[in-house]
Amino acid sequence: MLLPGADTWNTPKHRAIIKKAEELLDVGATVCAICGATAALADHGLLDQRRRTSNGPGFLEMVSTGYQGQSLYADKPSVTDGGLITAGSTGALLWAKQIIERLGVFEPDTLEAWYEYFSTGKPEHFFALMQTLPAGKDN
């Protein structure tokens, strides 16, 4: 489940989504939240017992009055704790990398080349990325 950043997650219309996120985390499925979505998870106590990050130290306390997980907060762009992958607003690329890794989309060397290319934009990394992909099949 991907929860994109927004400042509207705590509106009543989203309660069912946050409840589903809780159910998924309880069974070990993957839930990915970035920016404002982390605040909604914090409001519902879903971050109190898991390592996570968000928009910087103090953000979750500022926006979530019931947040109790300060001791497990990691001041990093993106953090993975089992099936939970969180990121602050500036950690989107690393968040995407961690999601791709969790889903097993790429082989490890392809993932690293992908990350190098998108984090630097340098053409040599694009060509290195292409070299890691399997050769196409002739029809």
The string of pLDDT tens digits covering residues 86-120 is 999 999 999 999 999 999 999 999 999 999 999 99
Q: Rg for the chain (alpha carbons), in Å? A: 17
> pTM surpassing 0.75?
yes
Annotated catalytic residue: which of 21, 25, 33, 35?
35
Active-site residue flag, 35: yes
The string of pLDDT tens digits covering residues 44-54 is 999 999 999 99
End-to-end CA distance of the chain: 36
The string of pLDDT tens digits covering residues 26-43 is 999 999 999 999 999 999
What pLDDT is stored for residue 18 in this prediction? 95
The DSSP symbol for 76 reads: S
